[in-house]
Every structure is written in C-alpha cells, then in structure tokens.
Amino acid sequence: MSRFIDDVYGSAYYPSTMRLQSVDTHLVVALHALLQERSVTRAARRVGVTQPSMSHALSRLRAHFGDPLLVQVGRKMTLSERARDLLPRAAEAVERLEHVFGQAERFDPRRSTRTFRLVATDNLELLVLPPLTRILAAEAPHVNLRCRNIPPDFAELLRRGELDAKLGRGGPVPDGCRSTQLAAEQLVCLMRRGHPASRKALTAARYAACEHLMISPHGEDHNVIDQELAARGLRRRVTLTVSHFLVAPFILSGSDLLLTVSARVAVALARRLDLVVRPCPLEARGYTLTLVWPERSEGDEGHSWLRAAIERAVACEPVAGLGEAGGPPARGR
C-alpha cells in the first residue's frame, strides 16, 4: 500500500475501533511486510520507507506483542511461533484494507494478466490441465497458471494467500477454506493389451492372482483394495510401488502388472499407450475429486472465474471407453 492507514483515518474516531486507539494502525502494513520478508531492509523497501523507520516499527511491534517476532538464526531471520500465528491474519488484514481503499477493478479474463497458483497431484494435473489450458487460450490468453505438488501445509498457504486452490481427493475442509465436489471417481483396472487377465471376466479371485502395480505417494504398500480382498479371504501381491501416476502406464505397457486406478485416469492413460481398461471386480469405494480454496477469495471475481473454469475442465473429460468395442467383460466374483 502506498499510504499508511493512519494517513487515511487521521484522528477520526469510530466506535468500532475503540480497541485500536492505542495502536498506530499503519503498523499493520509494517507487520505484514516484516513477516513476509523476514528482513527489516526488504520490508522497508517493500513498503517504501527508510530502513530506520521500519526498524523503529519492528521495535514498537515487539513491545506491543511482547514477542521478538523475528529471531536471528545464523545469518537469517526466522519467525517466532507468535509471528507464525500472526502471519495469515496480518495478510488478511492488509488485503481487506486494500479492498476498502483501493479502486475496485472488474475481472476481465480477456485482458487480465493475473497469475493463479494451484496445487494438485500429478494424476489431476493430467486430467485437468490439458482442458483448462484450452479454456485459458480461448478465454483468458494472458492469465498464467502455476501448478505444483500438494505440500503438507497447503491449508496454511491457502489461508495466507500464497495459494489460490487445491485439487485433490475429498476430505475434511480446512478451517478458513471452502470446497466443492468436482466429480465422483470409480475404480477400474488398467493393463497392457494382451494381458492374460484381459481375456476373461475379471473375478475377484483372478484379480488377486495377478501381480499388481500400486501408486503410493507416501510409501504405503496396501490400501482399501487390500482391505476388501482380506474381507473375502483373498490377498494380492503388490510387486511394485511407485510414487507418481505418470510413470505407471509405461511400466504397464511392458509388463504383466495390473493397476487399479480411477476411471478418468485410466481412460486418459489408455488412450496414449494402447492399454486396456476393465471394471474392478471389487466393491471398493471410489473417491470424490474436490476443489478447495480460501474463504477470503470467495467474492473475488477472478477467483470465481477460475473455479468455474476448473469445473468446466473436469466436465470436458467424461468417463468413457471402459473396455473395448462390444462392451467390457461382465463383472465377476
């Protein structure tokens, strides 16, 4: 912000700000800059004040909170625990003030140069990004996307405004976030053309007798499939686990391994490497693809456009082609 908050308010009094009478409210901007930059010099440059002025602001903030906020560790400054707690709230406070005092601009996808930051697993990147890229090219040619893997602290990054959305499996919605369901996924089996299991109806017993490939981002060697098999008195051999979805089809195409995966992913991969998709003979639960975003972005026109574009991108990839011409083999027990 080019002006501090006290420049706007002056000495005006409002009943709702009684608790702020003892606080120089321009310190909100200084606090946000200091916590983001973790450097007095960089924070001063970001806000547009001198380094001594920012150093003085830090001293006042430390006195107010009774906490060092920035702590010297080696040659770097790191955030105290109190500062980590303050960071998302300071970011939200500054953003709200900018919305209040800044000039409102309508989001025009054809002219916007905005950059959106997403996190997703690689299978969802495969499903969503190709159609989403086509939507961007047609409707928002100057908008940029930055997509990365899902970090453990994605919820905090969403709340802090460092991420715009997370694509992934359904689960508890983090505090301060909202979500919507994109699609329900069913599980199917994927194998190379000519695989012995592709020639007959795939019963649970035949399924268990196959050697299996498993996608295991976190290193597990069993999942809900194994629980379902155990309930039937069956057990499979997981010959190989890999951490990424996109390596799996190349392994399948040159082996007799079988992969159990969501139908949308299976169809997308089968098209590219001449693989065969068969119904899964187990009644294992599928999962729901969801989109999660920070509550603070709910009313943002650009963010609303992005969410709608992602939903359209998912709808562009219907689940079709399960099995070959003439229909898939009957499901067996």
Q: DSSP H helical segments within the chain, as ranges? A: 5-9, 27-37, 40-47, 51-65, 81-101, 122-139, 154-160, 204-209, 224-231, 248-253, 263-273, 301-315
Contact present, 90 and 121 (Cβ < 8 Å) = no
DSSP assignment string, 235-303:
--EEEEEES-GGGHHHHHHTSSEEEEEEHHHHHHHHHHHTEEEEE-SS----EEEEEEEEGGGTT-HHH
pLDDT score, position 294: 93
Which residue bears the tokens 């321009």?
26
Cα–Cα dist 31/71, whole Å: 14
Cα–Cα dist 237/261, whole Å: 16
Taking residues 146-169, what's their average pLDDT?
91
Taking residues 254-277, what's their average pLDDT?
89
Mean pLDDT for the chain? Answer: 84
Check pLDDT > 50 for residue 38. Answer: yes
* pLDDT, tens only, 162-199: 899 999 888 889 999 999 999 888 889 999 999 999 88
Strand partners, 237: 211
Contact present, 53 and 59 (Cβ < 8 Å) = no
Check pLDDT > 60 for residue 16. Answer: no
Q: Is the pTM of this model over 0.85?
A: no
Closest C-alpha to 13, from 27, 29, 25, 31: 25
pLDDT score, position 219: 78
